[in-house]
Copies of this chain bind each other. A is one copy, B any other.
Amino acid sequence: MLTLCILGFLYEEPLHAYDLRQRISGLSGHIRPVSDGALYPALNRLQAAGHLTKHTEPGAGPTPRNVFRLTDSGRAELLRRLREPAEVEVTDRNSFLILLAFLGFLPDPADQARVLRRRLEFMEQPASYFYDRGRPLRAADMTDRFRRGMLTLAAATSRADKAWLRQTIAELEAAASGQDTPPAPGDTTR
């Protein structure tokens, strides 16, 4: 997740760690300061994997800035991660929203639609949060004010998200069929 953010922001432009941290903080719904203990090791890992290069530049402040730049391998890695998201990025809303921030980088609308469809499929599985002897409890049945709130809020979010997903998928498909992009072979909406 951190890795995806790093790759995503560096895809737009080279940045130094401090800058990167601020963007990531902003993205994570702000105020989640992305601890240095996570960021710097992550940058080193990515560098070791050959996904980015570090250039030390004399910075504005007293400390020299390390500007990180994606390599070809790094760009490919980002696109791969966007095309084939990990399970969490389909399952967890926060992770999915972060994925969304960079999904526009994928050149092919069919790939974008495929990702949205995966999320939609996951969300369409009926999920209920509490059970009474095997039976799912609906929001209206809950006596507890907070559990009722929890279910109501979760349901509202789910509805809004699904509506957006359906509409956007439709738009992407319309754009694909109306344009030059031919339907990929074997694209039988699995």
A residues bordering B, Cβ < 8 Å? 23, 26-27, 29-32, 91-94, 97, 100-104, 112, 122, 125, 127-131, 144-147, 149-150, 152-154, 156-157, 160-161, 164, 168, 171
Among B31, B100, B127, B146, the residue within 8 A (CB) of A101 is B146
CB distance from A155 to the nearest CB of B (A): 10
For the complex, give the distance between the alpha carbons of A144 and B100 in Å.
Answer: 10
Chain B residue nearest to A102 (CB atoms) is: B146
A101 to chain B, nearest CB (A): 6
Q: Is B168 in contact with A164, judged by CB distance below 8 angstroms?
A: no
A103 and B146: CB pair below 8 A?
yes
Are A130 and B94 in touch, CB under 8 angstroms? no
State the CA gap A146–B102 with chains docked (Å). Answer: 8
Cα–Cα, bound, A70→B73 (Å): 52
A28 CB to closest chain B CB, in angstroms?
9
Nearest Cβ on chain B to A117's Cβ, whole angstroms? 14
Query: Chain B contacts of A100 at CB under 8 A?
Result: 146-147, 149-150
For residue A51, give the distance in angstroms from its CB to the closest CB of chain B. Answer: 22
Contact B164 A152 (CB under 8 A): yes
- A29 engages B127 (CB within 8 Å): yes
Cβ-closest 3 pairs across A and B? A30-B127, A104-B144, A100-B150
A97/B160 contact (C-beta < 8 A), A91-B32, A128-B26, A128-B30 known = no
Report yes or no: B160 in contact with A156, Cβ–Cβ below 8 A: yes
A104 engages B26 (CB within 8 Å): no
Which of B94, B153, B168 contacts A92, CB < 8 Å?
Answer: B94
A164 touches B153 (CB 8 A): yes
How many angstroms from the CA of A39 to the CA of B123 in the assembled complex? 25
Do A104 and B30 touch across chains, with their CB atoms under 8 A apart? Answer: no
